[in-house]
Structure 1
Amino acid sequence: MSNDEQGFTLVQALCQLQLFLFLSFGCVLIFSVVEKARPFEEINQFSQMEWKQTVLQLDEELSRATAVRSVKEGKALEYISDQGRVVRVEPYQEMLRERMDEAGHLPLLQKVKQFRVRTNQHRAILEVTDVSDKVYEAIFFTYKGVVPQT
């Protein structure tokens, strides 16, 4: 080959390959870091798992309750547990909580914007609106009856 011909040498090809691999792995690294940072966005969202767990827990408790009623103009649910304790499910700040005998509380759901309860005959209907305005509804059947609203 003469000196005036343009061409790649093995060294130039290896340098180009090294640059290409460096940029490729750099992009992959950046995308993986961005993807791992995404779950932190979900911290501020309503948890589907919490909702399902709350519904299952309330379903079991209300099926054994001796009396169920909505209070505070439908903004809270109150029932008497099978152990005779008065339990109230009500919103508090951005959470839905459960209180027994007006003492302490147990958080049930986070990121709750609004909570409504309707009771009739042998049913209690809960409606929860999360902070992104998505509405969730659960219907519970009570076997020992519903006390009229107060």
Structure 2
Amino acid sequence: MFIAGTAATIFQLFLSPGVKKNEIRPEEWTITAEQMQKECKEAVAVKVADNGQALEMTNSSGDAVRYEPYQALIRKRVNSKGHVPMLQHVKRIAFRLQDHQVIIEAISLKGTQYRAAFPIYHSL
């Protein structure tokens, strides 16, 4: 059952109308924002680094999780190691903390703007 459901979802992605080249896929934006929100919620500390170009958090295990731009994508690194691409076709990303919220603003290579905001309850 799980395999059939997963296969159907993947098949649907291949058949769905294509996103324009150099454009952020809406599904990727949603998944990336939700992943960041989940990790911020579980973090013991959250901060913005590199003049708003990176989001850093420390999880309960003491690991430093960082979201940062790399070429035309946003990647995730843990303890300054690894390279997990999270979001493609990104021209610019900006993170900021305001009123106990993380605000993320991205611009695709085509110039489309994306924005997400979610609350944080830990140190800023």
TM range (shorter): 0.7 to 0.9
Give the 3-state SS of the residue equivalent to 2:123 in structure 1. coil
C-alpha deviations, 1:7-66, integer Å up to 9, x for none? Answer: xxxxxxxxxxxxxxxxxxxxxxxxxxxxx9x84x73542110000111111111111111
Partner of 2:12: none
Q: How does 1:45-64 map to 2 (within 5 A)?
A: 45-64=23-42
**C-alpha displacement at 1:116, in angstroms?**
0.5
Any gaps of 5 or more consecutive residues in structure 1? 1-35
Q: Which residue of 2 aligns with 1:85?
A: 63
For residue 98 of structure 1, give the secondary structure of its aligned residue in structure 2.
Answer: strand
Q: CA contact under 8 A between 1:117 and 1:126: conserved in structure 2?
A: yes
Report matched runs for 1:1-150 at 5 Å. Answer: 39=18, 42-146=20-124
Q: CA deviation at 1:121?
A: 4.8
> What letter corresponds to residue 145 of structure 1 in structure 2?
S
Between Structure 1 and Structure 2, the one with more helix by share is 1
| Alpha-carbon distance between aligned partners in 1 of 2:99 and 2:20, rounded to the nearest angstrom | 39
**What is the aligned length?**
109
Q: Contact 1:111/1:131 (CA < 8 Å) preserved in 2? A: yes
Letter in 2 for 1:68: V
Percent identity over paired residues: 34
Larger radius of gyration: 1
Q: Deviations over 1:52-87 (max 9, x none)?
A: 111111111111111111111111111101221001
Cα displacement (A) at 1:104: 1.1
Tell me, yes or no, if the aligned pair for 1:118 and 1:125 is still in contact at 8 Å: yes
Secondary structure of residue in 2 paired with 1:138: strand
Aligned mates of 1:121, 1:103 — CA distance in 2: 31
Return the letter of the residue paired with 2:72: E
Poorly superposed stretches of 4+, deviation over 3 Å: 41-44
Name the structure where strand makes up a greater proportion of residues: 2
